A and B are shown apart, each in its own frame.
Chain A
């Protein structure tokens, strides 16, 4: 124990003397930081945990005196973690910083209720308001302030396809819904599942429909759905639901038994052709040693980046405020983002990361990130409050079975009214 302490002190002294060395850049943390830093997340396994540990490694180098407490809650794509987080926040015992989907999941749940501190000053002093695209800053903002630091960007609106199946049938990835249905008919005639779906967990249909909404309404029309500018009762949403209903006639019969990754087996086995899913699929294919896949924007989604982002914020009652600020500075830095994202399978929220450590898909996505119109994903928490997103998810999950366009459109409108956005 005392040996350890000596070790830390030695390291701290080394850092201080380095910082104080003539010619070295002046550091504001001249007194070595100490104490704890508790980081709450649901990154417990695989590449995600490795990525988090890479950040911890960098943090230890920067602030060696600080003991990092890695508080993770496994399972349920974050559902379980969010339940634990709620108890802790409401009970006045928040973690120092916690993983949360950037956008309304953070804003409607924790910002409006007054649990968070704004970070606009940090963005200005670190220059992140220039290093990150404006569309992203809009997602992070509420009432003119920025509330969390995004560590990564995932893209939701990607069409993944089996290259061999496509080339064998002389097909190209469909750019429009017409092309999609033409390709789907050709594949169906060959006994191949045109569109692979696994909606056992209930959110996947809502995910696919989100891309149909973008493809039908365009970036501005889709954004307007969540701010009240676009009507949920209009003809465009009806058209989107009808398109989605038609797409559902091309899915695998056992979709309700499978999770999205189990459904991905169809693509690997060349029994299925296309899958609309987020870019975590890239990492999943890689982990299965499968390389025969290609990707393209989902039909009608060219030029639109449907984004979700994991971010960290500063709770008002955080016990180790200075340590959290150091953590947030690391998350937003190029060094932190370049260490985290290749392992996580996502891309940097900043636009100036070096493409070298990234995979071909990620390089493609990084290029798009600079130029595309950025819209928030609803099913992954960026576009709407958690209550609204849950009702949206339920309405679409029922639609997969009922195929009732009018009733689903009414349910979607009601969800918007319940959220207080529509009248």
Chain B
């Protein structure tokens, strides 16, 4: 009998729990629904209207804004710039981050010191990084002389390495990628270092007993085991690179011939300078799709992995 009486009470308690839980979650669900998905939807709607002046005009334009966008020279340059930036930035961060993590993992004596030094740039805002690298990569000129990195190269008798950096349209956005890599590769190192530390030593020892060379251990065992880390790093860095804005603003602006322009900067310019709200919304949607292409497969993959576990 006592068991019988306890069951409805437990049911009541769990219903109460559920109600309390729902009440706790509701505000954030509502806020996310309105301020994230609501505005995503609203932006999508605006991008299909003729609102290309200050006053809203909700006349239907269909895909016209998107067609115009992909026909505009500036947006085409922006897309190429984003691809170049992403490639250079990912390769730089992953390469340097992994190399640093491997070096630190070798049991360096002053490891915490180095770890802090490599991670420090992460604490700086992109605006500061942009200003500093704008000075460092200033090309100088024959009349005013070399400055920054070019001056360093000349003193090291490496004068042939001097370049126009972000003022050279062939380099352009890659100079920005250099600054971004400087800032984020320490973070990538931290990710890899954590990954390396989580791999049990027995695996390496077993491999050594089997006569594997050190580089073989890395190639055949550690790198494959670090694959989830690499994937997370690609996702995190990739969405930063697609959305990059502040670094470009502080460091170069659109650059000569838009060689360092990015979609986010164009979006700001066309919306708030040119009053082309529908075009700005179209750029926002293109960016959303690009980021989604990168992150959604990852989210699907990780949820599935969690369910399997």
Contact = CB atoms under 8 A, between A and B. Distances in A.
Interface of A: 79, 82-83, 86, 89-90, 109-110, 113, 191-193, 199-202, 252-257, 265-266, 269, 271-272, 385-387, 390-391, 394, 397-398, 400-402, 411
A200 B254 CA distance: 8
Contacts of A255: 167, 256
Contacts, number: 94
A82 B273 contact: yes
Interface of B: 52-56, 73-74, 134, 138-144, 164-167, 169, 252-259, 269-270, 272-276
B55 A390 contact: no
A203 to B, nearest CB: 10
Contacts of B52: 387
A202 B254 contact: yes
A83 B142 CA distance: 39
Given A252-B141, A256-B255, A269-B144, A386 B166 contact: no
Contacts of B257: 397-398, 400-402
Nearest to A391: B274
A199 B258 CA distance: 12
Main secondary structure of the interface of B (DSSP, over half): loop
Contact of A401 (B139, B166, B256, B273): B256
Contacts of B138: 254, 257
Contacts of A269: 143-144
A265 B138 CA distance: 15
A147 to B, nearest CB: 15
B141 A254 contact: yes
A110 B275 CA distance: 11
A79 B274 contact: no
B139 A257 contact: yes
A208 to B, nearest CB: 15
Contact of A82 (B55, B144, B166, B272): B272
Contacts of A257: 134, 138-139, 165-167
B156 to A, nearest CB: 21
A253 B258 CA distance: 17
Contact of A397 (B134, B140, B258): B258
Given A200-B252, A257-B167, A79 B273 contact: yes
A90 B139 contact: no
A89 B140 CA distance: 44
B92 to A, nearest CB: 22
Nearest to B270: A390
Contacts of A272: 143
A269 B74 CA distance: 36
Contact of A252 (B143, B169, B253, B275): B143
Contacts of A401: 169, 256-257, 259
Contacts of B270: 390
A253 B272 contact: no
Contacts of B139: 253-254, 257
12 contacts: A89-B54, A113-B55, A202-B253, A253-B141, A254-B140, A254-B144, A266-B143, A385-B275, A387-B274, A397-B256, A397-B257, A411-B73
A400 B256 contact: yes
Contacts of B273: 79, 82, 386, 390
A253 B164 CA distance: 9
Contacts of A252: 141, 143
B272 A387 contact: no
A110 B74 CA distance: 27
